[in-house]
Copies of this chain bind each other. A is one copy, B any other.
Amino acid sequence: MDQATLSEAETEGFETFTPRQNAVLETALGLLVEGGDRALTTARIARAANCSKESLYKWFGDRDGLLAAVVAYQASKVRAPETGQLPETAEAFRDHLFSFAHDLLSVLSGDVSLALNRLAIGQARRDEAQLGRLVLERGRKRIGQRAGALLEAGRRKGFIEYEDRNAAFRTLYGLIIRDFHVRQLLGDVLDPEERDFEAQAGSAIEQFFRLYGSDAHSEPKTTQIR
């Protein structure tokens, strides 16, 4: 697998798999969710999907290409969250943010997302991390774009105020996810109240508005620490 192929095709979503290949990748995804990367061997995939190892290597090149294809396949499934039309009223804006937060919590806590992130993180080294880049490109950045468009719309309408949109997004992200993601990646199970994603999302959005709402600059109090 050469760099150009990965950068142009796999990063941007030009690769499209045949239905048969999609079925195989779906089977592989199931194996991954069930047994982790140790279960994702070429022989097991072939047996579970009723295909030959030769076909796997013909379609995906090698094992790394197959892992990348699994990631790309999953990303292609959740494509197009489609921001829909942007909110016009303050209530609609808050609802959009709430939905975003709720979706984010639900998606990142899902079995498939956790399994794919575990896979990519387990493969990552200090230097290279092909799968990690793919996950970031196909997952994280799409989320950032959706949220970025939302925040920008809210700012133009005067519902919120910020100077650095990326900083505002990262604050929003931190308020929503807190330590839930890494804890779940490590195998921890959230408490029942932590699993109440509606409450968590509501709390996060409420805090976000207290920090960035357009009437929140009542008392800067401390101009800037340090």
**Which residue numbers of A lie inside 8 Å of B, CB to CB?**
33-37, 94, 98, 111, 114-115, 117-126, 128-129, 132-133, 135-136, 140, 167, 170-171, 173-179, 181-183, 185-188, 198-199, 202-203, 205-207, 209-211, 213, 215-216, 218-219, 221-222, 224-226
Contacts and interface: CB of A to CB of B under 8 A. Distances in A.
Contacts of A129: 186-188
A124 B225 CA distance: 39
Contact of A202 (B33, B126, B224): B224
A132 B111 CA distance: 16
6 contacts: A36-B123, A129-B187, A207-B211, A210-B211, A211-B211, A218-B218
A149 B32 CA distance: 40
B211 A225 contact: no
Give the interface SS of chain A, mostly helix, strand, loop or mixed.
helix
Contact of A121 (B122, B136, B178): B122
Contacts of A34: 126
Contact of A209 (B120, B126, B135, B222): B222
Contacts of A219: 215, 218
Contacts of A216: 210
Contacts of A198: 226
Contacts of A187: 124-125, 128-129, 132-133
B170 A199 contact: no
B186 A178 contact: no
A179 B173 contact: yes
A113 to B, nearest CB: 11
The 3 closest A-B CB pairs, nearest first, are A122-B122, A129-B187, A132-B186
